[in-house]
């Protein structure tokens, strides 16, 4: 609950509104447990919950489009020799139009499918009238509970909605402050006209299968009334004169994340079991279980940048009045930061698919871009905040997803080029799609798998689990690297190995050796080499990779107007403001460019960013927060946050591309974390932590606790006037040699490092750098005087 009574102000980590939602996209409030999602509208006379189950997809195995069965997007129709023809053309002419490439290599993507809405629950409240007093609708980020409060004729009515991860159900609780005052009718509807509805003993069951692919689905909604009576209707359940009612909802399909059939057990038993188990406990126990589980993760990070403890303005007004200055701006920014963490926990939990373009929320049978997995920035951006903001468990669905893409990805590699290894293209779905879709301008991006592998390696860098590296990450990375060993070709001009053809995402001509393609492959090779060293595995393979890496064009060139080149040729247009700034991958998420280690390249990245400007879609602005943070320009990073909040954010604080696309939420949360802490894994149990690398002037003082750096280090920082005043850190899982970079160490300040026991710690200091050994489980404090 946000507060005890409806009249008091909610605490700062609450989204709240004085009116019900009428628009799904911009106003309704999302809840989710990773697999299930709901959007709550909060109407007084009718409550509406729009529902999703993450695996409910059309297309895929079993589906046929225009007479063609789904075929994982494979390249079997590619004409023999077409790839060589393309390469010869690029070697001779330097570039080609994307449409030309699409014609040479492309093919139709039959039955790709789209993410589907599951249905809707409507709760018609009897005698609600129209005039409720003290109405408030809220979402408490500290408990992940959405709530509606209002009074009618002196009676207080309240509702809560939550999506429990431990119990696997969505639960709604409706209460009246007086016995006998709650009467309502609950309907559960499916958009699918073939769905069968059945009501028995307060339980509404919806069952059916999708017409195009036969995917079975089932939803059950159980209504439990306290006092009062319960009456089954034909397709509804009515509660009369109760004091309280609980609704328990579970949805399932027979989807399984397994190539080639992608089918598992019928959903009936699992759905029934979950509902029955949830019904066997009092609502209070279900609620406590949910809050304990959720808050245990969400509560790991606290951010205080000067927001008042309570917000005096409803969230839509807070957003409308936002100009980047004053306590209200700090309130919105910190709320937005934590909202990204909330949304990640709501849309990505172990045991389900990763967060898609809309997380887990979709109300349309034809959502934008199928609400799929775009892998030229979007899926990756969804996971940027996971490690740094201490929600590493949420990466599990991504890891499983990457793993499951491999079988079709292997066939795609083979059919494209007779290559080993595995690939995935620009877009994929829940059915292991590994080919290309038929849009010439977003057509070609076989580097997607290599980029996904960065997340596996980073999971190791942050968490340090060698077992994960050995059993999960390394085999996937090594197999992705194998493809590139086969696919790279020597450039006709300088003999360096290049990706050909290559295409800087959604921009420019097709060429050989586009910067991003080169940078991504270089990273994959470097990480795979590092992983094989940690594991002591396969030295011959490691040497092959090292040899190729030495010959690989690194994709880092400074061009005529001081910019970082997007292509191998110096052809960047200084007036171009395209939203993708892919060639800055080496700055972020990559780590090859930094102001400290490669100042010229950092300058070039800055020139590129200045030319591209501060506009763009939601995710583009979010990426720019991260870029400027990595360039240690906190004020520019903050300016991008401001742009995002002012022009790319809806009233429910969802990011809008437009339309709604969740990546910008996640990218911005990650960017704000990058402003406060950056880290580098230096190998062999060594890590560098940069404290407050990009603090904006407007965050004058504050604290952040629980951020996570590479090397599994947990960091708390307090600051004032741009300088850290207190730094605490600990390394719960392992001994690690730390290099701490902070302005606190400059200006001749006297610095002590203390264990929690009070003992002083040996350290070495030089300029803004302190080096020391951190021991497992010990908590350290940096104390500066003078």
Q: Which residues bind ligand FUC (CB under 6 A)?
A: 357, 369, 374, 376, 378, 442, 506, 580, 617, 619, 657, 661
When the beta carbons of 140 and 506 are compared against ligand FUC, the nearer one is: 506
Q: Are 15 and 318 in contact (CB under 8 A)?
A: no
Q: Which is nearer to ligand FUC, 376 or 519 (CB)?
A: 376
CA-to-CA separations, 329 to 38, 191, 257, 317, in angstroms, rounded: 29, 40, 43, 11
CB of 456 to ligand FUC, least distance (A): 22
CB nearer ligand FUC, residue 165 or residue 619:
619
d(CA 189, CA 775): 56
Q: Which is nearer to ligand FUC, 407 or 440 (CB)?
A: 440
Shortest distance in whole angstroms from residue 426 CB to ligand FUC = 7
Residue tagged 């992608």 (tokens): 262
Q: How far is the CB of 615 from ligand FUC (least distance, A)?
A: 13
Contact 621, 579 (CB under 8 A): no
Query: 444 vs 719, which CB is nearer to ligand FUC?
Result: 444
Nearest CB to ligand FUC, comparing residues 661 and 730? 661
The least distance separating ligand FUC from the CB of residue 100, rounded to whole angstroms, comes to 20
Residue 168 or 667 having the CB closest to ligand FUC:
667
Q: With H, G, I as helix, E, B as strand and everything else as coil, classify residue 209.
A: strand
**Distance between CA 153 and CA 132 in Å, rounded?**
8
Q: What are phi and psi of 498, to 5 degrees?
A: -135, 160
Minimal distance in Å, beta carbon 581 to ligand FUC? 11
* Cβ contact 739:682 at 8 Å: yes
Say how far residue 757 (Cα) sits from the centre of its chain.
39
Could you tell me the two tokens for 512? 């050989």
Q: Do the beta carbons of residue 151 and residue 134 sit within 8 Å?
A: yes
* DSSP 8-state symbol, 693: T
Closest approach, Cβ 670 to ligand FUC, in A, equals 16
Between 378 and 390, whose beta carbon lies closer to ligand FUC? 378
Which residue, chain included where needed, has tokens 């590619």? Answer: 78
Q: In this complex, which beta carbon is closest to ligand FUC, that of residue 150 or of residue 619?
A: 619
Residue 162 tokens read as 């939550």
Q: To which residue do tokens 């590139």 refer?
A: 484
Q: Min. distance of Cβ 655 from ligand FUC in angstroms?
A: 10
Helices and strands in the chain, H and E counts: 18, 31
- Cα–Cα distance for residue pair 709/390, rounded to 1 Å: 9
Q: Between residues 143 and 380, which has the closer beta carbon with respect to ligand FUC? A: 380
C-beta closer to ligand FUC: residue 259 or 443 = 443
Min dist CB 702 to ligand FUC, Å, is 32
- Considering beta carbons, is residue 378 or 511 the nearer one to ligand FUC? 378
Give start and end residues of each alpha helix (H) in 631-710: 634-647, 663-676
Contact 356, 484 (CB under 8 A): no
SS3 (DSSP) at 425? coil
In the structure encoding, which two tokens stand for residue 75, read together?
């390249």
Q: Minimal distance in Å, beta carbon 114 to ligand FUC?
A: 13
Could you tell me which of 439, 551, 435 has the C-alpha nearest to residue 490?
Answer: 551
CB distance 444 to 510 below 8 Å: yes
- For residue 650, what are its two tokens? 């809806």
The smaller minimum CB distance to ligand FUC, of residues 347 and 661, is found at: 661
Query: Do 435 and 420 form a contact (C-beta atoms < 8 A)?
Result: no
> Shortest Cβ distance from residue 424 to ligand FUC (Å)?
14
Residue 653 DSSP SS3: coil
Based on CB atoms, which residue is closest to ligand FUC, 528 or 661?
661
Buried b / exposed e over 322-334, threshold 16 CB at 10 Å, is: bebeeebbbbbbb
Give the residue with the Cβ less far from ligand FUC, 398 or 481.
398
Q: Which is nearer to ligand FUC, 382 or 688 (CB)?
A: 382
Strands 236-253 and 169-176: antiparallel
Minimum distance, C-beta of residue 618 to ligand FUC, in the bound complex (Å):
8
CA trace torsion 548, 549, 552, 557 (10° rounding): -170
- Find the shortest distance in angstroms from Cβ 422 to ligand FUC: 22
Distances (CA, A) of 636 to 199, 633, 704: 57, 6, 20
- Helix H or strand E segment including 416: helix 396-417
Residue with CB nearest ligand FUC? 374
- Shortest distance (Å) from residue 438 CB to ligand FUC: 14
Distance between CA atoms of residues 522 and 531, nearest Å: 14
What distance, in Å, lies between the first and last C-alpha atoms of the chain? 45
In angstroms, rounded to a whole number, what is the distance separating the alpha carbons of residues 260 and 728? 49
Q: What is the DSSP letter of 10?
A: P
Q: Is 466 exposed, middle or buried (0-12, 13-18, 19+ CB in 10 A)?
A: middle
Cα 141 vs. chain centroid, distance in angstroms? 17
| Torsion angles phi and psi, residue 686, rounded to 5 | -125, 140
Number of residues in the chain: 786
Find the shortest distance in angstroms from Cβ 281 to ligand FUC. Answer: 41
Q: Min. distance of Cβ 290 from ligand FUC in angstroms?
A: 32
For 144-177, give the DSSP string.
TEEEEEEEETTEEEEEEEEEETTTTEEEEEEEES
- Distance in Å, CB of 671 to ligand FUC, minimum: 17
Nearer to ligand FUC, 159 or 621 (CB): 621
Instruction: In angstroms, give the least distance from the CB of 411 to ligand FUC.
Output: 24
Q: Residue 285: which residues within 8 A CB-CB, separation 6 or more?
A: none
Residue closer to ligand FUC (CB basis): 337 or 503: 503
């Amino acid at each position: 609950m946000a507060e005890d009574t409806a009249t008091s102000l909610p605490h700062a980590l609450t989204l709240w509104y004085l009116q019900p939602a009428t628009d799904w996209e911009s106003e309704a409030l999302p809840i989710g447990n990773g697999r299930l999602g709901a959007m709550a509208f909060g109407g007084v006379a009718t409550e509406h919950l729009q529902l999703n189950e993450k695996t409910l997809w059309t297309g895929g195995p079993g589906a046929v489009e225009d007479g063609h069965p789904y075929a994982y997007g494979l390249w079997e129709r590619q004409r023999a020799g077409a790839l060589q023809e393309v390469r010869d053309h690029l070697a001779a002419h330097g570039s080609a139009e994307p449409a030309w490439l699409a014609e040479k290599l492309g093919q139709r993507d039959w039955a790709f499918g789209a993410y589907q809405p599951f249905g809707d629950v409507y709760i018609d409240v009897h005698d609600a009238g129209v005039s409720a007093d003290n109405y408030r609708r809220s979402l408490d980020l500290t408990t992940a509970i959405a709530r509606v409060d209002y009074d009618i004729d002196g009676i207080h009515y309240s509702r809560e909605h939550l999506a429990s991860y431990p119990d696997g159900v969505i639960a709604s609780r409706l209460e009246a402050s007086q016995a006998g005052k709650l009467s309502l009718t609950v309907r559960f509807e499916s958009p699918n006209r073939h769905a069968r509805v059945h009501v028995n003993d307060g339980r509404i069951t919806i069952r059916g299968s999708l017409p195009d692919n036969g995917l079975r689905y089932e939803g059950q909604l159980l209504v439990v009334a306290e006092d009062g009576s319960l009456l089954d209707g034909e397709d509804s359940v009515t509660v009369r004169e109760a004091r309280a009612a609980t609704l328990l909802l579970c949805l399932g399909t027979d989807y399984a994340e397994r190539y080639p059939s992608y089918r598992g057990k019928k959903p009936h038993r699992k759905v029934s079991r979950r509902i029955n188990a949830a019904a066997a406990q009092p609502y209070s126990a279900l609620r406590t279980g949910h809050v304990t589980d959720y808050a245990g993760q969400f509560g790991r990070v606290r951010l205080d940048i000067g927001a008042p403890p309570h917000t005096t303005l409803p969230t839509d007004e807070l957003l409308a009045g936002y100009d980047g200055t004053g306590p209200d701006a700090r309130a919105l920014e910190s709320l937005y930061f934590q909202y990204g963490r909330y949304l990640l926990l709501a849309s990505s939990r172990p045991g389900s698919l990763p967060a898609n373009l809309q997380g887990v929320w979709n109300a349309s049978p034809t959502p934008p871009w199928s609400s799929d997995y775009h892998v030229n920035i979007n899926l990756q951006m969804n996971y940027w905040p996971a490690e740094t903001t201490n929600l590493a468990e949420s990466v599990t669905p991504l890891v499983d997803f990457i793993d499951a893409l491999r079988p079709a990805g292997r066939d795609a590699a083979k059919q494209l080029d007779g290559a080993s290894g595995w690939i995935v293209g620009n877009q994929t779905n829940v059915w292991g799609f590994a080919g290309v879709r038929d849009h010439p301008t977003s057509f070609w991006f076989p580097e997607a798998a290599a980029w996904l592998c960065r997340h596996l390696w980073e999971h190791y860098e942050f968490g340090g689990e060698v077992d994960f590296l050995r059993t999960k990450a390394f085999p996937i990375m090594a197999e992705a690297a194998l493809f590139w060993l086969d696919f790279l070709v020597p450039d006709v001009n300088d003999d360096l190995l290049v990706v050909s053809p290559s295409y800087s995402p959604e921009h420019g001509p097709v060429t050989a050796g586009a910067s991003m393609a080169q940078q991504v492959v270089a990273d994959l090779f470097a990480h795979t080499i590092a992983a094989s060293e940690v594991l002591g595995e396969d030295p011959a393979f490691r040497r092959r990779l090292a040899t190729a890496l030495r010959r690989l064009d690194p994709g880092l060139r400074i061009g005529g107007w001081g910019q970082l080149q997007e292509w191998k040729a110096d052809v960047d247009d200084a007036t171009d403001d395209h939203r993708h700034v892919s060639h800055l991958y080496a700055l972020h998420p990559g780590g090859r460019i930094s102001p400290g280690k490669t100042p010229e390249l950092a300058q070039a990245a800055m020139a590129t960013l200045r030319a591209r400007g501060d506009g763009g879609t939601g995710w583009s602005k979010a990426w720019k927060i991260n870029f400027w943070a990595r360039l240690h320009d906190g004020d520019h990073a903050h300016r991008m946050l401001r742009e995002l909040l002012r022009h790319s954010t809806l009233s429910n604080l969802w990011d809008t591309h437009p339309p709604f696309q969740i990546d910008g939420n996640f990218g911005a949360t990650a960017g704000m974390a990058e402003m406060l802490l950056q880290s580098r894994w230096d190998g062999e149990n060594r890590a560098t932590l940069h404290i407050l690398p990009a603090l904006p002037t407007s965050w004058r003082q504050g604290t952040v606790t629980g951020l996570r750096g590479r090397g599994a280090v947990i960091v708390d920082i307090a600051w004032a006037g741009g300088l850290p005043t207190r730094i605490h850190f600990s390394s719960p899982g392992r001994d690690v040699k730390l290099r701490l970079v902070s302005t606190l160490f400059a200006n001749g300040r006297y610095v002590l490092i203390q264990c929690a026991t009070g003992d002083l710690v040996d350290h070495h200091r030089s300029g803004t750098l302190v080096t020391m050994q951190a021991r497992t489980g010990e908590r350290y404090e940096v104390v500066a005087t003078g």
